Structure 1
């Protein structure tokens, strides 16, 4: 019944315009043009087969530990790209037999994991 996959994930952000630039310019996501005219600012983004919906909530504070993961083929290259864009990325950590991972935060402090499968 629920095996068609995740349609989208919504992220609360403090400033939709700043967050959209970060996700599009820094992470290479594509801004979709089919977002309806809601009563709040936001953006719909495309990342591979996954949609990310940004919702502006001015006083939002992300819960500690809550995150989503972006799959990458080359963690070192992804880390270097982010760092070149001024993003602080954690040191890589291996989970033996599973993946190598690093973490960083978006402009609202939402936690994002980079995940390179082993």
Structure 2
């Protein structure tokens, strides 16, 4: 059984002086988190859902604590875990694919290949395109067997342009820079511009 922890909706106020804010970026006061570990989905049939995540998205089954007293399974790939929990999924209209909804997104190695593979799997999907500053971004959206939205995209083509600065450049455990903690001097980096040699898109 889970122990329910009840927290007040009105926590003790934090007193932060303007001097404190000038010395450190606001993100320094956020939770001491590492990288994203996993996402969980409630599914009607664990076996069917697991087959989709294995066969279509390439995830691998991994060990799950045997002390859990509810059905489910754990899968892993791309440095991310997907935990499936047997239950009653939120009823959604699978006939309608709406990109502007909650979804799990993966970068594609080659979007044209992914699109052909989705056709081979006979999975219904929609394509969304946008063009800005000469960069074309393409996104493919489709559902898993329980109507959870999946996206495959080339969003890494869109330049990362920081909207706030402060603090020192930091790196997470994977060695990647944490964009939320770049200093103001870093916001002028070429990340705010299309990559060198980027051609104007036709959209």
Matched, 1:88 2:124: yes
**Pick from 97, 101, 104: which aligns with 1:68?**
104
Q: 1:89 to 1:41 in 2, by over 3 A?
A: same
Q: Any stretches of 5+ residues in structure 2 without a counterpart? A: 1-31, 93-97, 158-203
- Give the RMSD, CA atoms, in angstroms: 1.9
**Is 1:55 paired with 2:85?**
yes
Q: Where do 5+ consecutive residues of structure 1 fail to align? A: none
Asked which structure has the greater CA Rg, the reply is: 2
> How far apart are the structure 1 equivalents of 2:136 and 2:151?
14
Number of residue pairs the alignment of both structures matches: 115
Aligned-pair distance for 1:69?
A: 0.4
Distance in structure 1 (CA, Å) of the matches to 2:122 and 2:39: 25
SS at match of 1:82: helix
Higher percent of residues as helix? 2
Structure-2 residue corresponding to 1:22: 52
Using structure 2 for the length normalisation, give the TM-score: 0.52
Higher RCO (CA < 8 A, seq sep 6+):
1
Which position in structure 2 is the counterpart of 1:36? 65
TM-score, normalised to structure 1, is 0.86
In structure 2, the residue matched to 1:10 is 40
Query: Quick check: which one's strand share is greater?
Result: 1
Runs of 4+ with deviation above 6 angstroms: none
Taking a change above 3 Å as real, the CA distance of residues 62 and 11 of structure 1, as seen in their structure-2 partners, is farther
